[in-house]
């Protein structure tokens, strides 16, 4: 009886630390350009993904399972620039990127420039767990996805009218657009990500995106790059980023936050502030991130006008869009 009671108390103590945070992109997201209907749709989509991930943690599941489940929910939603809602590249196709990382053993998996895979985050996890590699791209990654019996969808599954409109605007302007900054009224979409801490003290992070509208030359942003857009280490924290990928790559944002915590002893809040509000802004790097540390503290900083974001733990729940 003593053993059972001790295990029960331990479970509830650890559950108080467990938590999850998700994001759906950061950028020029203004209340003045958002309709009430669209705001409700985003809030509902964020809540659905948040609850799906947190329910796994609540019943003792792993952080990796929680973030994959939450990200798949957003990949299946056309509101976000990932999976089904991915933007068009210059050739009128959808090229997707994703990455995932486990803080327990710093194992990681990533994929880029993949097409027709319904859930890129699941392919990234398969790379992490079922291959000897970390990063696969293009045709090779798709071949591996078929070997893993992952779900594929035809091009038509990813085709949406509002993404086509974004693409036509970008083509006309001969420019590439960040998905959340496309000059189309109330159409602000974004990269998705999730971070979590489970009751066993393990951290995990994942990120998934369709990249930039009208991108050329096989462009790859920070989302699939371990250390830039995604990072997790049980010693410190788990991070998922969203924003102008080139500048996040140059700043090695996700790993930099972990380093500031591990080597300089900064808190999660202070490390996030230093990187997002000082280091990134110094080079005009727009965006934000979600983060959770080994004690369950959660931060969701951004230096843009808004960021689709949500967090949940035993004691609180937050779903927000604007500053």
Residues 6+ apart with CB under 8 A from 43: 319, 321
List, in sequence order, every beta strand (DSSP E) within 67-219.
96-102, 107-114, 135-137, 192-197, 203-209
User: In 3D, which of 71, 115, 85 has the Cα closest to residue 238?
Assistant: 71
What does the alpha-carbon distance between residue 23 and residue 11 come to, in Å, rounded to a whole number? 27
What does the alpha-carbon distance between residue 142 and residue 152 come to, in Å, rounded to a whole number? 9
Scan for tokens 């420019």, then name that residue.
Answer: 175
Q: Lay out the sheet containing 317-322: strands in order across.
A: 135-137, 107-114, 96-102, 203-209, 192-197, 19-27, 306-313, 317-322
243 bridge partner residues? 287
What does the alpha-carbon distance between residue 66 and residue 200 come to, in Å, rounded to a whole number? 13
30, burial (CB in 10 Å: exposed 0-12, middle 13-18, buried 19+): middle
- Please identify every residue annotated as catalytic: 191
Residue 202: alpha-carbon gap to chain centroid: 18
What does the alpha-carbon distance between residue 230 and residue 141 come to, in Å, rounded to a whole number? 19
């Amino acid at each position: 009886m003593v053993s059972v009671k001790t295990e029960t108390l331990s479970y509830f103590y650890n559950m108080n630390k467990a938590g999850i945070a998700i994001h759906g992109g950061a950028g020029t997201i203004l209340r003045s350009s958002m309709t009430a209907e669209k705001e409700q749709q985003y809030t509902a989509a964020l809540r659905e993904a948040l609850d799906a991930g947190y329910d796994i943690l609540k019943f003792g599941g792993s952080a990796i399972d929680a973030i994959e489940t939450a990200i798949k929910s957003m990949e299946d939603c056309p509101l976000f620039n990932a999976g089904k809602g991915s933007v068009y590249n210059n050739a009128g196709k959808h090229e997707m990127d994703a990455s995932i990382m486990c803080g327990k053993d710093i194992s990681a998996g990533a994929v880029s420039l993949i097409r027709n895979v319904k859930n890129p985050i699941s392919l990234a996890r398969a790379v992490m767990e079922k291959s000897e590699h970390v990063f696969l791209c293009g045709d090779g990654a798709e071949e591996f996805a078929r070997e893993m019996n992952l779900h594929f969808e035809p091009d038509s599954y990813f085709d949406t009218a509002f993404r086509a409109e974004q693409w036509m605007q970008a083509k006309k302007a001969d420019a590439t657009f960040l998905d959340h900054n496309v000059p189309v009224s109330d159409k602000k979409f974004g990269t998705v990500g999730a971070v979590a801490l489970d009751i066993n003290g393990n951290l995990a992070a994942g990120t998934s995106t369709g990249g930039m509208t009208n991108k050329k030359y096989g462009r790859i942003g920070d989302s699939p790059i371990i250390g830039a857009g995604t990072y997790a280490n049980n010693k410190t924290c788990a991070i998922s980023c969203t924003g102008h990928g080139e500048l996040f790559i140059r700043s090695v944002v996700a790993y930099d936050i972990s380093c500031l915590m591990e080597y300089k002893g900064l808190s999660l809040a202070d490390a996030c502030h230093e990187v997002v509000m000082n280091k990134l802004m110094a080079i005009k790097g727009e965006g934000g991130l979600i983060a959770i540390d080994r004690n369950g503290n959660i931060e969701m900083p951004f230096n843009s006008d808004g960021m689709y974001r949500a967090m949940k733990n035993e004691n609180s729940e937050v779903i927000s869009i604007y500053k």
